[in-house]
Amino acid sequence: MAKETKVRKRSDIGERTIARMKAGRNGIVEATYRMDVAEFRVFFTMLTMISPDDVMFCEYELRVADIIRLFSLSRDGRSYETIKEAAERLVNKTMVIYHTKEDGNRYRTVIPFLTSASSLIGDTKMESIRVTFHPELKPFLLQLRTEYLEFDVRNLARVQSQYSIRLYMMLRHQMNLKKVSVRYTVERLREVFEIGDKDYPLYGNFKQKVLVRACTDLNTTTNIRIDQMEEERSNRKVVAVVFHMSSQELPLSLLDSMTVTVNATVAEPPISKKQKTVIEVDDPATELLVDQLHTLIAQYIGREAVRSWLHQSSEEQVRTAIDYTLKQIKQGAAIKNVGGYLQKMVKTSLPLSFDEPEPAKESPNRQTKELIKANQERQVLDDARLKALTENKYQAALQVLTNYPEWHEAVRQHMQSGLFGKFYKENLSLFENLKNPAMYGPFFQIVERLKPDVFTGME
C-alpha cells in the first residue's frame, strides 16, 4: 500500500504518466461535464499522482515544471497563473451522473471535482499550487478493480479541444475493451459533452464544429485513429453516429519534437451514411428506447431480443418492423409465431410508409439544378462564415501578442519551424510575417497554446 501523506508531490510517487478513472455507464468517462484544456491538464496531472493502492485522498502539490514537462508545454511567464486559474475554476466544476441506487430508483447526482485549491501568499517563485479532490470522487478514482479507463496522459499533450479530449477518453475505453466500432446516439453525445440545444442547434454545425474537428484532432495528435464516422438516419434526421477506430503509432518519446500545423479548414474523416448499426453502447437513452419498443410487443417477445435488434439494425428499421407486424395482426392476418415473424421483419427491408403513396418525383433536370443552386448558396454562406471567423481569430491573436511582448520570441520560433516555416521571411518583422494568410494556422495554434481561452466563444 502506498504511504499515506498529508501532502503528495509527484516526486513522492515517481514519474507516473498513467491516469485511471471509473468508466462505464456510471463513471467519469461518460458523465456530463465540461472542462477546458487547461483544466483537463490540471485534473490529469492529479490523476497521475494517485497510486492504485490508495484508500484515501490527500492534498496534491502541482508544480508548474511537472505540468509543462508532462504535456510538452512551452515555459513562459504566465504558466503559473494559467495553472492556478484552471485549478481554482475546477473547484466550481461538477459532473452529473444518472444511476440506479439501492432503492431501485433512478437518480441524477451532481458531484464536485475539487474541494480546494491553495496558492502560497507572497511566493515570489510561484512554482506550485496545492489541490484536493472532493471526497465524493473516491468510488470513481480509488481502489478501481473493474471497468476503469487507464491511459497515458502524454497521448493528449497536443490536443487543443475539450471535445477531442472527451471523445478520446470514450473511444480509448472502448478500445481497451477490444472494440473497433462503437455507436452513440447524437443525443447521448450532446449530453456527455454538455452541449445544449442552443449550442450548435443544427446537426450540421454540431458535426463540423465538434465531431469532425475532434476526429481530425485525434487522427493528427493522438494514438487513436478514426477510420470512419458512420451516420445513422431516421426520417432523414441523423440520430446516431458509429465511430470505427484503430490504434496508430505515436511514440511518446517523440512528442517533445512533434509539431502540429492547423489550417483554416480541416479534412473530414471518411463518412458513410448507412442505416445499420455496428456496435451499440448501452447508454441511458438506449435503455429507454429498448423499454419503449418492448412495451409494444411484450406479449410476443423478450426485452433482450429488442436490444439485440438495435445492435444489428437501425431504430427506424426496428420501429417499421414492429408497426408492420402489429398492423398485420390488427387486420386479421393469421400469424402463428409472432415473435419469429417480428424477427424476420426486422431483417427485411420494408417501406417507410404502408398507406401513403410516394410523392411524384420531379424531373431529374429540375432536381439537379435546384441541388446545384442550394449547394452553391450553402458554400457562399460557409465561406463567409469561415472568413469572418478567421478575421476574428486573427484580430484576437494580434491583441494577445500586443499585450504579451515576452511571447514574441516563442511565437517567432514556432512560426519558423514545421511545415509552414518555408513561408516565414527572415527579412520581415514578426508582425509583417503575420499578415501572410499562409501563416494563420501556426499563428493561431501557438497563441492558443500560450493562452488557451483566447478563442473561447468565437465558434
CA 383 vs CA 14, 261, 387: distances in Å: 50, 21, 6
166 plus 144 within the same structural domain: no
pLDDT at position 182 is 93
Average pLDDT of span 298-310: 79
4 plus 149 within the same structural domain: yes
CA 93 – CA 76 distance, rounded (Å): 26
The reply to whether 172 falls in a domain is yes
pLDDT-based confidence at 312, cuts 50/70/90? low
pLDDT single digits (tens) 1-40: 444 558 898 878 777 899 999 998 789 999 999 999 999 9
The reply to whether 200 falls in a domain is yes
Helix and strand numbers (H, E) in the chain are 17, 12
- Secondary element (H or E) of residue 10: helix 10-13
The reply to whether 22 falls in a domain is yes
Assess whether pLDDT exceeds 80 at residue 381.
no
Q: Which amino acid would we find at residue 46? A: M
* Residue 198 near residue 216 (C-beta atoms within 8 A): no
Copy the grid coordinates of residue 92. 466550481
322 plus 391 within the same structural domain: no
Question: Which of 258, 281, 304 is the last residue before a domain boundary?
Answer: 281
Question: Which of 154, 171, 194 is the last residue before a domain boundary?
Answer: 154
* Residue 349 near residue 386 (C-beta atoms within 8 A): no
Question: Which of 259, 281, 303 is the last residue before a domain boundary?
Answer: 281
140 plus 1 within the same structural domain: yes
* Residue 258 near residue 158 (C-beta atoms within 8 A): yes
CA 333 vs CA 318, 337, 354, 411: distances in Å: 20, 12, 16, 75
96 plus 163 within the same structural domain: no
pLDDT at position 355 is 43
Closest CA to 277 of 302, 303, 244: 244
Assess whether pLDDT exceeds 80 at residue 339.
yes
Copy the grid coordinates of residue 376. 452553391
- Looking at the structure of the chain, the number of domains it has is 4
The reply to whether 93 falls in a domain is yes
How high does pLDDT run on average in the chain? Answer: 80
State CA 220 to chain mean position distance.
15
149 plus 162 within the same structural domain: no
Name residue 22's beta-bridge partners.
148
70 plus 16 within the same structural domain: yes
More confident residue, 92 or 4: 92
**Beta-strand pair 18-22/148-152:** antiparallel
Average pLDDT of span 78-90: 87
Alpha helices in 18-161 (DSSP H): 37-48, 64-70, 79-90, 138-141
437 plus 330 within the same structural domain: no
pLDDT single digits (tens) 255-293: 333 333 333 333 445 554 444 433 334 445 566 677 778
pLDDT at position 130 is 93
List all residues 6 or more positions away from 321 whose beta carbon is below 8 Å from its beta carbon.
Answer: 309, 342, 345, 346, 348, 350
Average pLDDT of span 124-152: 89
**Beta-strand pair 237-247/106-112:** unpaired
pLDDT at position 399 is 86
Q: Which amino acid would we find at residue 52? A: P
Mean pLDDT comparison of 47-56, 132-141, 245-254, 272-281, highest-scoring range = 132-141
The reply to whether 367 falls in a domain is no
More confident residue, 62 or 366: 62
The reply to whether 362 falls in a domain is no
Copy the grid coordinates of residue 1. 500500500
List all residues 6 or more positions away from 254 whose beta carbon is below 8 Å from its beta carbon.
Answer: none
pLDDT at position 348 is 75
Domain boundaries, position 267: 158-281
269 plus 214 within the same structural domain: yes
9 plus 115 within the same structural domain: yes
The reply to whether 355 falls in a domain is no
Classify residue 113 by its DSSP letter. Answer: S
More confident residue, 248 or 286: 248
State CA 244 to chain mean position distance.
15
* Residue 45 near residue 62 (C-beta atoms within 8 A): yes
The reply to whether 339 falls in a domain is yes
Residue 228 sits in a domain whose CATH number is 1.10.10.10
233 plus 150 within the same structural domain: no
186 plus 114 within the same structural domain: no
pLDDT single digits (tens) 204-228: 889 989 999 999 889 888 999 998 9
